[in-house]
Amino acid sequence: MSMSSSPAFLPVLERIADEIERTPGRGRPADYIPALAACDPRSFGMAVAEPDGTVHGVGDWRQPFSTQSITKVFTLALDLGREGDELWEHVGREPSGNPFNSLVQLEYENGIPRNPFINAGALVVTDRLQTRSGDAAGELLAFLRAESGNPGLDFDKGVAASESQHGDRNAALAHFMASYGNIDNDIPVLLDQYFRQCSVAASCADLALATTFLARHGIRADGSRLLTRSQAKQVNAVMLTCGTYDAAGDFAYRVGLPGKSGVGGGIIAVVPGRCAICVWSPGLDERGNSVAGVAALDRFTTLTGLSVF
């Protein structure tokens, strides 16, 4: 991983890290999963990966953290690459405007979740990937290991167990969708896959590299094509409109990039054709997005002039 090809990124990252360091008020870590509640809200890491695999980073950019909902992007891509447009008959592409685990909306829409990044939608995607692969979480892990070049990536069993203990709402969503015929697998199997998926621990470096297939318009690190150019555009579009819970409009306004956040404090973002970014800081705002993470991405697009607008 050479650091020479684009020296412009590192000074920008160093400047951002310096600014974040001086910023008071970082939000609070998610408290419903003990492993997340224990994180230091002052932690901060950021990495930028270029399409050729060059990666630049600052702060805690090599520190693994709980990826949580960020994994929904990768399961979406893995399933979309397999089944194509048929997926969109089972999950929508519209922002929800409701909490990410809303049952009310699901009833209103006859068991078709609004988008793949709310929990109900992610459950549908994982269910469909499970049907096609036989091991959705294993498929995800193999993909992340290959794209990041880190064979040590793994599930965090403690986090998965924690999610399972607090998983009643997700179980309710799954059963509810099953009643509409929108879930194929047995619910306990699906939930086990989903909780394992969300428990993957990875660093900013790992995730920035794993996300570069979207900057390469669907091409994986080994040169094989996961998604068509059009499908990569679809994933980026859904990230832009639905990737940060019900703050997607504000995120698009401030950052101007397709992004996906997780309650572990991580956010991935894509500049198509140029780079993929991952930032991590565990302190969250009231909508579940990393306070320092959003601020850092806001500064990144301002300082570099890189945005999709």
Nearest in space to 279 (alpha carbons), one of 289, 33, 38, 108: 289
Q: Among 58, 159, 200, 263, which one carries the catalytic annotation?
A: 263
Give the active site residue among 200, 245, 255, 261. Answer: 245
Amino acid in position 294: V
Catalytic residue chosen out of the listed positions 58, 66, 72, 235 = 72
245 is catalytic: yes
Active site residue 294: no
Is 263 a residue of the active site? yes
Catalytic residue among 43, 66, 69, 133: 69
Residues whose CB is less than 8 angstroms from the CB of residue 286 and which lie 6 or more positions away in sequence, other chains included: none
Residue 306: other Cβ atoms inside 10 A:
19
Catalytic residue among 73, 124, 125, 194: 194
Is 233 one of the annotated active-site residues of the chain? no
User: 69 catalytic, yes or no?
Assistant: yes
Hey, which residues are catalytic here?
69, 72, 194, 245, 263
